Amino acid sequence: MSRIATPLASHHSAQQPLLNTQEMVLQIFNHIDNKTTDLGAETWSEPVSNYRSQERLDAELGLIKSSFVVFCPSLALSNTGDYVARSAAGVPLIAVRAEDGTAKVFRNACRHRGVQLAQGHGCKRVLVCPYHGWAYALDGQLKNITHGSGFPEVDTKTSGLVPVPSKEINGLVYVGQEASDTTASSLDLIPQIIPDNYELVEIDEMDVDANWKLFIESALEGYHIRATHTKTFFPVQYDNLTVVEAFGGNSRVTFPYQTIESLRNKPQKGWSTNGRMTQLYHLFPNVIVSTFPNCLQVVVLEPLGLEKTRQHTYLLGRVATGTAEERKTMTESILQGQAFAKTGAIEDREVVMSAQQGLHSGANEHLTFGLFESAIGRLHAGLSRELG
C-alpha cells in the first residue's frame, strides 16, 4: 500500500514560496556544517505493480493529456517558421512560431488524409503536406489544395490544422491537450528558470528501455551522487546533501557544488549561486529541467510503453559575449558545462535501465524511497492523488 500523506521536506510545504538565494545558501551552509540534508516527513512505498500495469500507464498518459505540460522551450522556436514536431502522450503534435510571434500548437495531421506535416524540428514558411501537397500557413489556415477542383466540398476556412490549447510562459511552451483552463493557473507557480542570455544548443531524442517514472526518480535525489556519479558529480558536489522544495505539484531539488564555500567570506547581498549549484525542477508529471554551469537541459519523458521511454532533451546554453578572446574562453567553459551534464546523464540512464531489469527480478513488491528521497515520494503521492 502506498501511503496517503504527502511526504514533504520538513522545512517546506507546497504553499511556501521557493527559497531566495540568501535563504538557499544559508540552508546549504547549515547542512554542510552539520553534515545533514533536507529530510521528508516519512518514507514512501510504491507498489512495483504501478510500474508494470498497462492500465496504470494508460491512466498516466490520460493525466499527461489533461495537464498543461512542457512541449519545448521557447528558444526552440526562436524564429518565424521554426517548428518542433513530436508526440505527446502518444498524440502527434507540432508547435510553430507563427508570423505574429506567438507559438501555436496543432495536431500534426493533414486535414486531407492525416499525414504528418513535418517531423523533428526545423524551419518552414509554409507547412506543405508531403503526401499530396496541401499547404497550411503558420497560423494553421489551409492555404492551398492541390488541384482544388477535385474537392468541391472542402471549405478551406474550416479545414485548417486543428489547434491544441497552449501557453507560453517564462520561456517554456506548454500544451494542454485535454486540459481545462483552470489547470493552467498552476503554471503561475513555476518560477522563471531559463536565464535571458541563453540560446538553443541542440535538440536530441533517445529511446531508453525503462519506465518513465524510473527516469524521473533518478533526477530527484542526491542520495546516489557518491555511488553513481563517483567521478563526475561527486568530486565537485557533496555526498547526500540536497535542499528539497515543493511548489504546487512540482519539486525543486538543489545540489550544491563545493565552490559554494567561496561565498562564506562575501557579503550576503552579493551572493550569486550561478555555477555553484545544480537545480533540478520536476514539473509534474513528466518533465525535468536541470541547471548546470552555463547550460541547462529541458527533458521531456514521453512514455512509449511500460518499459520504453523517449527522452526528448533540449539543451540550452549561455550565449558567449565580449571580445573574441573572451568569447573563446567562455565558449570553452560553456562546452565543459555541457560535457559535464551529458556524462552525468549517461550514468543516470545506465542505472535507470538496470532498475527496470530489477523490476522483473521479482525481488521487490514495493520500491522504498527513504527520507532523503522525499521529492520522489511527492511524485508518487501526486500520481496517487490524480489517479487513485
Whats the size of the chain, residue-wise? Answer: 388
For the record, the C-alpha cell of 355 comes out as 532498475
Please choose, from the candidates 310, 302, 313, the residue with its C-alpha nearest in 3D space to the C-alpha of residue 121. Answer: 313
**Can residue 132 be called a binding residue for ligand FES (CB under 6 A)?**
yes
Phi and psi for 315 in degrees, rounded to 5?
-95, 120
- Please, which residue, 110 or 359, has the CB nearer to ligand FES? 110
CB of 203 to Fe ion, least distance (A): 22
Residue 348 touches Fe ion, criterion: CB under 5 A: yes
Nearer residue to ligand FES within complex by CB, 93 or 295: 93
Residue number, 33 or 153, with CB nearest to ligand FES? 153
The helix (run of H) or strand (run of E) holding residue 338 is helix 324-360
Binding part of the chain for ligand FES, among 44-52, 70-78, 126-134, 312-320 by CB under 6 A, reads 126-134
Query: Per CB under 6 A, which region of 69-77, 110-118, 200-208, 286-294 contacts ligand FES?
Result: 110-118
CB of 18 to ligand FES, least distance (A): 46
Query: With binding defined as CB under 6 A, does residue 112 bind ligand FES?
Result: yes
By beta-carbon proximity to ligand FES, the closer residue of 151 and 234 is 151
Q: Phi/psi at 314 (nearest 5 deg)?
A: -110, 110
Contact flag: residue 141 with ligand FES (CB under 6 A): no
User: What is the Cα Rg of the chain in Å?
Assistant: 22
Enumerate residues 6+ apart whose C-beta is below 8 A from 350: none
Min dist CB 374 to Fe ion, Å, is 16
Q: Does 110 bind ligand FES (CB under 6 A)?
A: yes
Dihedral sign (CA 52, 58, 60, 64): positive
For β-strands 198-208 and 172-175, DSSP reports them as unpaired
Q: Are 139 and 83 in contact (CB under 8 A)?
A: no
Taking CB under 6 A as the criterion, the residue among 113, 125, 264, 360 binding ligand FES is 113
**307 binds Fe ion per the rule CB under 5 A:** no
How many residues at the interface with ligand FES, by CB under 6 A?
A: 9
Nearer to ligand FES, 21 or 116 (CB): 116
- Rank residues 133 and 163 by Cβ distance to ligand FES and give the closer one: 133
Nearest to 360 by CA among 46, 59, 49: 49
Q: Among 11, 91, 131, 366, indicate the residue that binds ligand FES (CB under 6 A).
A: 131
Stretch that binds ligand FES, among 108-116, 156-164, 246-254, 370-378 (CB under 6 A): 108-116
Nine cell digits for residue 156: 478551406
DSSP 177: T
Contacts of 35 (CB under 8 A, 6+ apart): none
The number of CA neighbours under 13 Å toward the Cβ of 202 is 6
Site residues for ligand FES per CB under 6 A: 110, 112-113, 115, 129, 131-134
Question: Which residues are at the interface with Fe ion (CB under 5 A)?
Answer: 348
